[in-house]
Structure 1
């Protein structure tokens, strides 16, 4: 049976914690009474986030952490333990985006994306799960995406693949850790107003009009709103965290009938476009 994590007085660690959803969650947890360790590669943003956490009267620490480095992630875990003596909440959140036709994306870019988005999560699991198991309590949140629940487009297949991997890993982690008293959640954001676009790469795209976000995914929310959903999920002990619950029917329909979902989704996605994905010129 999972012991509920009391956020007030908890110690949280967040990778990718200096911007976007990570930063917003760090502040939301601090507001709820947690101390927060921010792991990131952007020092100035980390310093700003730590200062903002301090305004809530909580302890905060910035630790440079590149999630593609085993040593960095292991070092992050060591710092948390040496400074705070425990860890209650772990959020493996660092991630990047990549757009482009799958056959034109170089293997090095596929591998970099998976190294950050998938193996960054795996490194976090390897570093922190032993600590949580020894404690017998805690909570892990892995950041995936709505793209991890169904393929929402043709323009970012490497990202879709990586996020599906995160969802699968996290579901397995739930089955492994829940009986041991540790909670597990997967965060599947839709469009959130963050700076992930800064690191997003477009490869092999000759015409930007090829990029195609379906209308139901074009309703951005602020990171603060996503962060509040993370805090609520810890309190309510929920596995699946959606930032846009009004779109849950898409997830449910996909789960019920993949064949039917894809058959109906395809014409919607290509409406007004030719088979290449480009808009059809109006005559």
Structure 2
């Protein structure tokens, strides 16, 4: 994409945090947007705020864990916008706690939202984007936890590593189609992610332990040093126009990412020193 002017953008998890900040940034640059969210009241307020600023904005209730709901979102998005140029698979929840304490319900909840949600976005939108042609870009919100595994973030890292892998694979596959792909991998951002996560957990996943919730609150709670959502949104919009695959807002993550790949590379040397020749 060379411009946001007149382009149609769909953003899941669009009623708050990075999703809403991105909607504000995209519309400021001339885009028309469909916001998707599971929270009707927050969605209505977000759409109204965008419209009051002069933007074309629409809202569609969507539970990204359900393929039929995301397919409905795609139907409505093409109906409302006519053409969809950008799909931002941003909806997600936060989870923290030792793997030994993770319940089966916790695993299902995190994977359903944070990994199946983006997969459903690809299933529902990609065939139509390929057929449509023109300016097209698919985006994902992953995490620094999708680049470097860390203690206390097991299920979350599993899901976010999957999102990064999905983006990397799609970038290779879609290059010939002229469809750009980007994956956002922030550290902690100043958003109400923790509160929103707990509020949207359905009874189908059972109760979460108080210990895990307390650990998550401590690990993910925003501080004054966190990057703001509107700063992330500007970087994200610039990355779309530059067709940049990775979006890495926190320079503090660079050293950890470098060390991870150095450890991987060093393994080949250590194995060779031990006589492995294959």
| Fold in common (TM above 0.5) | yes
RMSD: 2.4
Secondary structure of the residue that 1:162 maps to in structure 2?
Answer: helix
Partner residue, 1:64: 61
1:224 is aligned, of 222, 225, 230, to: 230
User: CA separation in 1, counterparts of 2:213 and 2:66?
Assistant: 35
For 1:102 and 1:30, how far apart are their aligned partners in 2?
41
Show structure 2 runs of 5+ residues with no match. Answer: 199-207, 268-278
Match of 1:248 in 2: 254
Map of 1:130-169 to 2, 5 A cutoff? Answer: 130-136=127-133, 137-151=135-149, 153-169=150-166
5+ residue gaps in structure 1? 262-283
Distance verdict in 2 for CA 1:210–1:166, change over 3 Å: closer
Residues 207 and 145 of structure 1, relative CA distance in 2, 3 Å threshold: closer
Does the CA contact (< 8 Å) of 1:155 and 1:212 recur in 2? no
For 1:1-283, what aligned pairs fall within 5 Å after superposition?
4-136=1-133, 137-151=135-149, 153-200=150-197, 203=209, 205=211, 208=214, 213=219, 219-258=225-264
Q: Which structure's residues are more often helix, by fraction?
A: 2
CA gap 1:149/1:56 in 2 versus in 1, 3 angstroms = same
Structure 2 Cα separation of the partners of residues 107 and 197 of structure 1: 20
CA-CA distance at 1:245 after TM superposition: 3.0
Distance 1:239 1:56 in 2: 30
Deviation (angstroms), 1:203: 3.2
Counterpart Cα distance in 2 of 1:69 and 1:246: 35
Moved more, 133-142 or 72-81: 133-142
Give aligned pairs, total. Answer: 255
Contact 2:96 2:212 in 1 (8 A): no
TM-score by length of 1: 0.83
Post-superposition offset of 1:256: 2.7
Preserved CA contact (<8 Å) 1:5 1:139: no
Determine if contact 2:97/2:212 at 8 Å carries over to the other structure.
no
Task: Give the alignment's TM-score, normalised by structure 2.
Answer: 0.85
Change in 2 beyond 3 A, CA 1:50/1:229: same
1:81-105, Cα deviation, whole Å (9 max, x unpaired) = 1112110010001111112221221
